[in-house]
Amino acid sequence: MLSATSKLLLAGVLGTTLTLPAFGDGHSYGPFPITLKGYSGDKTNSVSYTGQIARHVQHDSLKKLAGSGNLAEMMAYFKGSKKNKSIIAPASKGDFKIKQTLLNEISSGKNLSGKSYKGIVNGWPGGLTGAEVLEHMINKAAEHGSAFDPNTGYNYPQLISKFAMGAVFYNQAVDNYLDEKLGPDNKPNNKPYKDGAHYTGKEHVWDEAFGYWGAAAHSLNLTAEQNYNITKMKDMAAADHNGDGVVDLKSEFNFAHAYYAASYDKSGKTNYFNTVTQAFVDGRKIITAANGEALTSAQRSQLHALRDVIGQNWEKVIAESVFKYAGSVYKDIDKLQTIMESNGDTTKAFATYGKHWGELKGFALALQCGKSNLGETAVKLNRMIGFGPVLLNLSQVTGIDSSGNFIKDESSGWDEYKLHMLKIQKLMVDIFAVKAKANDQLANISDLSAKLGGSNSAEND
């Protein structure tokens, strides 16, 4: 006998399957038909973003390796390799079976270094470009040999991963594909993206941006919780859309910022994941509807509106992350101070603090890899976070020497640093209007203010 819930689920699955049209169900990113004029090949689906998925996998694998101290291996995933490298992450875990085990099963010849932010990264010492910062971090991680370096407070896997997501995926999508490549003469829709391609210029530009976003093609059919659990590898049923028993990284997995969007949407206060993913689907439909002709200015305007929705919400997802980890760092310092006062062992709490700081720093640097210069906001953010976390002896990394080694100096102390964390949270609210506000250190104050309710009445007691 089937339970009521199972019956409901079965009905839902059958209903969805039976009503799926041949191309696109309105809630999935593809498949979309071939619209390229004069195409005579046998392809039927014009969607293609395997290069982006390969980079997501390189990023996940690099993060996993960042604590190993193996420089050559790390570089193989960062700069690419002629060998067919194995996928270190995401790899099968228990019942959650991943279809691909080798990078070339997704796409070959890809790297992260060539697609990293080309501007100067002001929040990291040395006046380096995005690619150089990542390389510097990877070299330091290898030198140190493990994930966390108590001498600097750096957690390399977190720093590398969180910054790379911004420097590569976010930057490439919003500052390249959804920016100049949306121009009328750049990768036009009435020509193939490149010679021999089965998709048009604009189709592929849009697909590549979507690929960097990292959402699974069928993810709009799922809840935020399900999308979150796919990345956590806890919900095989939600991930395996075609029911073949394995999760295809090319279309059935949620990567990078899409995963963070789902994590905030779970709170019910935001809807970043669906907003961005739906905008991508809607944009792709507009391009498909142009049927291989050059886009009209009206169509481009529609795409620009969707591009803005994508860019703004993607930026908010990163700002929410900065907000969240500034709160974590504040709480971690509270804990550290309590332990220090009782002369306890700080090892574990200090490592946790370093991990959260790495996430904060990485996301803060990522936030500055968008389309526009954040100006004063970036300056405030970089100054308040500093080049390193405040260490137990109250020192802090303040720069690098000519050999690339970190220089430390006296910091302004714990309480000042905690105040910086509060101000960073406020900055994220003021500038980016974040709503999920995880780890809000002022939540108690606003809750109490609301509860006491002011005394806004003309009353003479």
Q: Which residues bind another protein (CB under 8 A)?
A: 334, 337-338, 341, 413, 415-416, 418-419, 422-423, 426, 442-446, 448-449, 451-461
In the block, residue with structure tokens 């804990």: 335
What tokens appear for 306 in the block?
A: 């969707």
What's the closest the beta carbon of residue 91 comes to another protein, in angstroms?
A: 38
Give me 253's structure tokens. 């997995």
Least separation, in Å, of the C-beta of 317 and another protein?
Answer: 25
Is the four-CA dihedral 405, 135, 76, 65 of positive or negative sign?
A: positive
**Hey, how many other C-beta atoms are within 10 angstroms of the C-beta on 1?**
4
Separation of alpha carbons 356 and 178, rounded Å = 31
Distance of alpha carbon 146 from alpha carbon 315, whole angstroms = 31
- All residues at 6 or more sequence positions from 282 whose CB lies less than 8 Å from its CB, including other chains: 306
Q: How far is the CB of 445 from another protein (least distance, A)?
A: 5
Q: Which is nearer to another protein, 373 or 449 (CB)?
A: 449
CB of 442 to another protein, least distance (A): 6
Alpha helices in 347-401 (DSSP H): 347-367, 376-385
**CA-wise closest residue to 103 among 59, 71, 67, 63:** 59
From the CB of 419, what's the least distance to another protein, in Å? 4
Buried residues in 21-34 as b, exposed as e (16+ CB within 10 A): eeebbebbbbbbbb
Residue 282 or 334 having the CB closest to another protein: 334
Q: Which residues contact 272 (CB under 8 A, 6 or more apart)?
A: 261, 264, 265, 313, 314, 316, 317, 320
**Based on CB atoms, which residue is closest to another protein, 291 or 446?**
446
Of 181 and 331, which CB lies nearer to another protein in the complex structure?
A: 331
Residue whose CB is less far from another protein, 79 or 380: 380
User: Which C-beta is closer to another protein: that of 180 or that of 416?
Assistant: 416
Query: Cβ of residue 325: shortest distance to another protein, in angstroms?
Result: 17
